[in-house]
Amino acid sequence: MELPDSDLDAFEEDLHILIDALKESFEATEARYHIDEVHDALYIEIEGLEEYSEEEIQEIASPLLEELDLDFEEIYLVPLREM
């Protein structure tokens, strides 16, 4: 199902707000995302994430993820990979 342009724009804006907030929270300069539509999952790659424990990641990211409440079955935060 396709979203109307206005809904798509709002969704992309929310996604960019989340990415920017996560970058700031994890003191990263680089981050990118990938949407897996088949599994309704969002993957967010964040530079330097491997320097944090799983508990620290959860503590930092949970409030941001709950605030925006994007409509994905799963959201995964993973370290940024080289392309």
62-71, pLDDT tens digit by residue?
999 988 778 8
40-58, pLDDT tens digit by residue?
999 999 999 999 999 999 9
Residue 35: partners with Cβ closer than 8 Å, 6 or more residues away: 41, 42, 43, 72
Evaluated on CA atoms 23, 73, 56, 47, the torsion sign reads negative
pLDDT at 20 over 90: yes
Asked whether the whole model's pTM tops 0.75, one would answer yes
Q: Is 63 helix (H, G, I), strand (E, B) or coil?
A: helix
pLDDT of residue 1: 44
Name the fold adopted by 5-79: GMP Synthetase; Chain A, domain 3 (3.30.300)
22-41, pLDDT tens digit by residue?
999 999 999 999 999 999 99
Torsions phi, psi for 72 (to 5 deg):
-120, 150
